[in-house]
Homo-oligomer: A and B are copies of this chain.
């Protein structure tokens, strides 16, 4: 899905919500465990319940990989099931170079046919270029995350006065453009979000950390929205595990709708 189509979907639905499919077998409602593929059954119900309220789905690879080859089957079925009008993100945070990076790009863009993949920038441009070579696909680069140890390296002050995440934004925004690069930006720091918006005014930002991780949707919208919306705000656990009972899908729908209602008011 390209930028224009994504913006069109956001405006049509009045939502910039991304639902994170961090499907943890230990947290799936008990009545689903008897199913042939409980992870897919859970995802299917969540997608059916939330598709009217979101514009994107973001499976978190770790949870599928932990289940071995069967988990990757659940992932493949999930991707196939996501409606055509939704943007798909592999939350994989890969970062490698050369033919290894090309193989990861092939994994997410061809084998599983995602629209986008999250990437770690530590190894530099060599670790992103092979993904940008895929026409019509997106690289979503980690910039500033919302975990406490973002202080360890991401916020380190460089000799040129910038913090590392600012340098990552400045350099990496030159490797591609706002039609094939987005950035991961944590929601817990409004001042930083403001700074980031100045550095990359046109890029989409993928913002996790609203809800469970403590970020405010209003603040994110205030500092993050641009003329083309430019935001995908993710919620995972708050939606997936809103209820652990047989009503989990209804509860997930209610949570997604709550965020959708807030977003509708925030979209200019």
Query: Do the beta carbons of A167 and B153 come within 8 Å of each other?
Result: yes
How many chain A residues touch the partner (CB < 8 A)?
58
Count this chain's copies in the assembly. Answer: 2
Contact with B along A87-123 (1 / 0, CB 8 A): 0000101111111110110110011100000001111
Q: How far is the CB of A1 from chain B (nearest CB, A)?
A: 22
Q: A68-B76, A157-B159 are in contact. Are A124 and B149 (CB under 8 A)?
A: yes
Point out the residues of chain B lying under 8 angstroms from A4, CB to CB: none
Query: Do the beta carbons of B62 and A153 come within 8 Å of each other?
Result: no
Cβ-defined partner of A60 (8 Å) among B60, B100, B152: B100
A168 at interface by CB-CB < 8 Å: yes
Point out the residues of chain B lying under 8 angstroms from A106, CB to CB: 66
Q: How far is the CB of A256 from chain B (nearest CB, A)?
A: 21
Point out the residues of chain B lying under 8 angstroms from A69, CB to CB: 69-70, 72-73, 76
A residues with CB within 8 A of B: 22, 24, 60, 62-63, 65-70, 72-73, 76, 91, 93-101, 103-104, 106-107, 110-112, 120-127, 142, 145, 147-154, 156-159, 161, 164, 167-168, 171
